[in-house]
């Protein structure tokens, strides 16, 4: 093979390799953009998750406080009922005896 033919073959191979390199670099650039976009999406989702978690914790605290208030109210009503029953029983006993 003559020197010119070898140079032409090497130039053709070099051109092919440069084209492949350019395509690979473009693909790397695309993947980097995708990674950046995915990281942004991940951060947004993490912020939403954190906000939701905070809201759920607040709701749980409100529910617990509400249950405690209801239990205390029931306890107070039971105590009042016991007192009223005692008064009624005393009045009934007083009238009977």
The pLDDT tens digits for 31-61 are 999 999 999 999 999 999 999 999 999 999 9
Q: How many CB atoms lie within 10 A of CB 69?
A: 10
* Residue range 70-91: mean pLDDT, rounded: 89
Residue 3 has pLDDT above 70, yes or no: yes
For all residues of the chain together, what is the average pLDDT? Answer: 92
DSSP annotation of 76 reads H
What whole-number distance in Å separates Cα of residue 36 and Cα of residue 42?
A: 10
Spell out where 1-97 has E strands. none
Residues of the chain with pLDDT > 70: what percent?
97
* Residue range 86-93: mean pLDDT, rounded: 83
Residue 25 has pLDDT above 90, yes or no: yes
Q: What sign does the dihedral 7-9-11-14 (CA atoms) show? A: negative
């Amino acid at each position: 093979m003559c020197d010119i033919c070898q140079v032409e073959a090497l130039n053709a191979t070099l051109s092919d390799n440069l084209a492949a390199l350019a395509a690979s670099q473009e693909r790397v650039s695309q993947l980097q953009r995708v990674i950046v976009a995915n990281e942004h999406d991940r951060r947004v989702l993490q912020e939403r998750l954190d906000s939701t978690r905070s809201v759920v914790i607040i709701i749980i605290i409100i529910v617990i406080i509400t249950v405690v208030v209801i239990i205390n109210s029931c306890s107070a009503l039971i105590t009042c009922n016991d007192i009223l029953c005692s008064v009624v029983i005393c009045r009934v006993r007083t009238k009977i005896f």
